Amino acid sequence: MKILIPFIALIQMGTAGASLVAVMDSGTDISHKDLASKAWINSKEVAGSSIDLDKDGLPGDINGWDYTANSPRVFDPQYNNLITDDVKTFYNYYGKYDLGLLTSASPEMVWLRTHTKDADLMNKVNFVGGYIHGTHVAGLSLLGNNNAKVLSMKIIPTVYQESKTSKLASEANKNGDTAPTKTYDEFKANILDEANGQIEEMVTMHTLLNFHKVDVVNQSFGIGFGDAENFIKNEFTNDMKREPTKAELEDLVRSYFNKLMVVGPKMFNVAPNTLFVIAAGNDNSNNDLNPDYPADIQAENKIVVAATLGYKKLADFSNYGATKVDVAAPGVGISSTAPTNTYIALSGTSQATPFVTNVIGLIRDINPALTARDIKTIVYATVDVKSWLRGKVKTSGIVNKDRALKAAELSKSQSLDKAISNAKISVADVISPKSFNVNKFREDLNYRPYRPSLFIKL
């Protein structure tokens, strides 16, 4: 995937007041009744204009920008018809299953077993999970915040393809052409060039965040270690006309992530006053051992979020990491806004991440004098410390929204340290509803919580 991104000037602009929340995702349906009044409106631009009036490099960017189509339209409703009753039923039943509210013999579980065998339905389910993703995340990011505005940045393509069987690696070169197109060193160099190019594209987009003085940006996307293995292996097979050895694949994947980690910090440095809230990933993997992008890139103005089942346990799918993942938040069976003015339940670190984005936006609105560093300190210092998160996230804790907001309120008249200390005294840990069943049964339904990936065409 190549994203077309125009040059963005470094001139600063923005207005004081309500928090500005950016959602970098698959597009935001700002026609939804819960989002229409919260859409950011760029008063310095004119809809449909080909002239870049505010000099941010994006002519007519009234509500944001679609980087996949180089267009000011932040959501394309052409696939709304795929949000069928069966698709909605799947997600709502799966949400109940994930929360431990179903038994093996329940009618909903029987429905799931039957319908997950329908390849066409599951193809729609998986597509819709990405198609609605940005709208779902936006709803959670702004939930209960009537002041915040959302700037939508569509960076994930949403193109539906009918279900099809995957090709075996041995069939990749059925034309009989067995001559490699590159040497191993050339292929590896191409991998590193693409990693560097990906960071440069993000630098340009993050510069837009700085230009418009975005307070917090939600990034519920990423490339996991397994994702990288898959796309690098496929491209290697196509170019080299053979599968990589285990050692070659390990070398290529590690080199790819090493390059991202070395050059990656500059993508956050270009927006030093913006807080980036990033999904840890849904591979049940240790990010300390197997890197994840952009979660593992070192930067002071970012927070990486794992997902939990309520306030009871780490979600079965969630990535973790004692040094690379910062906090946890609820991310299982979370209902939020979806296109067609509906609501759908999704699970993932993608849903845990906007929980934290939402808290940050509310903190910013309570006390605009707080810096990005102050807000991050509040989020870290007011978590509910859990024994089951020790060694899993840096703070050993799950975000306590009420306590964080209390600290923000107190910080208007007290030092930050004292405000946090008093908030910890006055606001108790969250009590998880008894309906969350830690010992729920598990069954393989051939479905994994969705997190958009930025795949690169080598």
> For the residues 326-332, what does the mean pLDDT come to?
97
Q: Kindly give the interhelix angle for 85-98 and 119-131, rounded to the nearest 10 degrees.
A: 80
pLDDT above 50: residue 329: yes
Dihedral of CA atoms 394, 397, 401, 407 in degrees, nearest 10, equals: -70
Cα(402)–Cα(430) distance, rounded to whole angstroms? 9
Confidence grade of residue 445 (pLDDT, cut at 50, 70, 90): confident
How far is C-alpha 221 from the geometric centre of its chain's CA atoms? 4
Q: What are the distances in angstroms from CA 111 to CA 91, 94, 105, 206?
A: 12, 10, 10, 44
Q: What is the rounded average pLDDT of the residues 220-226?
A: 95
Closest CA to 40 of 59, 58, 14: 14
Domain assignment of residue 421, yes or no? no
Q: Can you give the pLDDT at residue 91?
A: 95
pLDDT reading at 371 higher than 70: yes
pLDDT at residue 298 greater than cutoff 90:
yes
For a pLDDT cut of 90, what percent of the chain falls above it? 84
pLDDT digit string (tens) for 154-200? 999 999 988 654 444 444 445 556 778 889 999 999 999 999 999 99
pLDDT tens for 88-120 read 999 999 999 988 889 999 999 999 999 999 999
pLDDT at 436: 58
- Answer yes or no: is pLDDT of 4 > 90: no
As a whole number of angstroms, the distance between CA 456 and CA 222 comes to 12
Asked, for residue 2, whether it belongs to a domain, the answer is no
In a domain? residue 442: no
Percent of the chain with pLDDT over 70: 90
Residue at 191 is within a domain? yes
100 in a structural domain = yes
Report pLDDT for 51.
94
Given a cut of 90, whether residue 393 has pLDDT beyond it is yes
Return the sign of the alpha-carbon dihedral for residues 128, 85, 135, 330.
Answer: negative
- Domains contained in the chain, number: 1
Identify whether 132 is part of a domain.
Answer: yes
Per residue, the 3-state secondary structure of the chain, as one string, reads CCCCCCCCCCCCCCCCCCCEEEEEECCCCCCCCCCHHHECCCCCCCCCCCCCCCCCCCCCCCCEEECCCCECCCCCHHHHHHCCHHHHHHHHHHHHHHCCCCCCCCHHHHHHHHHCCCHHHHHHHHHHHHHCHHHHHHHHHCCCCCCCEEEEEECCCCCCCCCCCCCCHHHCCCCCCCCCCCCHHHHHHHHHHHHHHHHHHHHHHHHHHHHCCCCEEEECCCECHHHHHHHHHHHHHHHHCCCCCHHHHHHHHHHHHHHHHHHCHHHHHCCCCCEEEEECCCCCCECCCCCCECCCCCCCCEEEEEEEECCCEECCCCCECCCCCCEEEECCCEEEEECCCEEEEECCHHHHHHHHHHHHHHHHHHCCCCCHHHHHHHHHHCCEECHHHCCCCCCCEECCHHHHHHHHHHCCCCCHHHHHHHHHHHCCCCCCCCCCCCCCCCCCCCCCCCCCCCCCCC
For the stretch 396-444, pLDDT in tens is 999 999 999 999 999 999 999 999 999 999 999 998 776 556 556 677 7
What is the pLDDT at residue 164? 58
pLDDT at 449: 82
Instruction: Identify the bridge partners of residue 367 per DSSP, sorted by sequence position.
Output: none
Please report, for the domain that includes residue 132, its CATH number. Answer: 3.40.50.200
pLDDT above 50 for 12: no
pLDDT at position 8: 34
Residue 220: count other Cβ atoms within 10 Å of its Cβ: 31
Q: For 370-377, what is the mean pLDDT?
A: 97
Domain that holds residue 239: 20-375+382-402
* pLDDT number for residue 10: 31
CA distances from 99 to 92, 340, 441 (A): 11, 25, 10
Confidence at residue 179, expressed as pLDDT on a 0 to 100 scale? 78
pLDDT at 453: 78
- The pLDDT assigned to 5 comes to 38
Q: Write the CB contacts of 274 (distance below 8 Å, at least 6 apart in sequence).
A: 22, 206, 209, 210, 214, 215, 216, 217, 301, 372
* 410 found inside a domain: no
- pLDDT for res 432: 77
Question: Letter for the amino acid at 270?
Answer: V
> Model-level pTM?
0.91
Predicted local distance difference test score (pLDDT) of residue 106 = 94
Asked if residue 138 belongs to a domain, the reply is yes
